[in-house]
Amino acid sequence: MAKPLPLEGIRVLDFTHIVAGPQCTRILGDLGAQIIKVEQGQAMDVTRSAALGGIGGIPGVNRSGMFEYFNRNKLSITINALMPAGLDLIKKLVSVSDIVIENFSSRVLERWGLSYEEQCELKPDIIYVSITGFGHIGRLRDYSTWGPTAQALSGLTYMSGLPDERPAGWGYSFLDHTAGYNAAIATLMAIHHRNRTGEGQWLDVSQVESGMVLTGPAVLDYTANGRPYRRPGNPMGNRSSHPRVAPHNAYRCAGEDEIVAGEPRQRWCVISIATEDDWQKFCKAIGSPAWTADARFATNADRVANEDELDRLIEEWTKDKMPHEVMHRLQSAGVAAGAVQTNEDKVVRDPQLRSREFIQKVPHREVEESFETDSLPFKFSHTEHRVRQGSPPLGSDTDFILTEVLGLSEGEIAEMAEQAVF
């Protein structure tokens, strides 16, 4: 029997687009909240854009894989907010919602007459969540960010890279995800407060701050010790700075005969030794070659002092093995090691993700086919989360929302249709 969905009965009015906002409402939707995604025909979520291609190579606003990935379980209504009747309709929806979430630039909802105070007039206990790069509060509220912008400012880009090279940074919008996670956390905390006190509130989430909170010890090393993170030799690539232990790195493995974007793809694994016991197990697992008994590697301090040579010798051992082979060989000896897994590896050769039903299938609402997707990374004993249906074709739930959610009459709907509200 299906377990209950924990957020069943919570209604979210969703003005989000691209990744950071949709990430937040994707989570709330998986947990059972009803997500009403408001789009405009002319200003739809750009991840629907044909520029991103379409499933099966056929572009179309209802065929974007990226849109599908971030917007399953949601309902779509098209409303033209530039028309007074459109704004009236949006206000009706606010008055029956628990939560309003948006990631527009910081003045859009104010311009619509939907500042937090105005929302409260429509729904006194509304929880209003705004997600922007810099927050709505502060002198830089009008600055804009994409994931890489926020990563650069927060310090996260700088913290990722080889020593004395440019930063490698993040190869995607990690802070779009993370701002979405922080927004979901803040929303749940605010629901708890509302459950206790009946009081709603405004939550102002900043994407740059979502990165800054992940730099705490580096900031304290400066404020308490005066040591800047920007210094020669820092960061240390994949080596471990705290604690300073070795070996701890990524190592070349045997490559597959696979060509990506014209280049053969090198395969990698990581090995992470923390204690003397780990080291002994590691040496045994790789067959105790003579160099492992070398005085240069006798203690952790020795291994750290001779880390370049140590890493070179380890790579001699890994380079003719496949990454999963290295991982299983070392793991069966109790050593922390892992394959550098690609998206393909995670879906095709990761029995762990399969066994926990992290990879699920969902029928697409436009393309008559089911596609795999990933779900939430936790399991509950008494409730569950579910991928119940695919992402909504643009405006596909307009009638349902007008009649079932708002209880509007056919006449009222026809009148709005005539004014081209949808």
> Minimum CB separation from other proteins for residue 61, in Å?
15
CA distance linking residue 320 with residue 330, whole number of Å = 15
For other proteins, give the closer residue by CB, 65 or 91: 65
Tell me whether strands 74-78 and 34-39 are parallel, antiparallel or unpaired: parallel
CA distance 79 to 13: 12
Q: How far is the CB of 280 from other proteins (least distance, A)?
A: 14
For residue 3, what are its two tokens? 């377990």
Nearer to other proteins, 243 or 287 (CB): 243
SS3 173: coil
Q: Which is nearer to other proteins, 42 or 225 (CB)?
A: 225
Closer CB to other proteins, 17 or 408, in the complex: 17
Between 304 and 353, CB nearer to other proteins: 353
d(CA 152, CA 208): 9
For the bound state, the minimum distance from the C-beta of residue 257 to other proteins, rounded and expressed in Å, comes to 14
What DSSP character marks residue 46?
G
For 177, counting Cβ atoms within 10 Å of its Cβ (0-12 exposed, 13-18 middle, 19+ buried), the class is middle
In the complex, least distance from residue 82 CB atom to other proteins, rounded to whole angstroms: 19
CB atoms within 10 A of CB 270: 19
Enclosing H/E stretch for 102: strand 99-102
Give the contacts of 147 (CB within 8 A, at least 6 positions apart). 19, 20, 170, 172, 173, 174, 175, 176, 207
| Residue closer to other proteins, measured from CB, 181 or 291 | 181
Minimum CB separation from other proteins for residue 238, in Å? 5
Residue 40 CB, nearest approach to other proteins (Å): 19
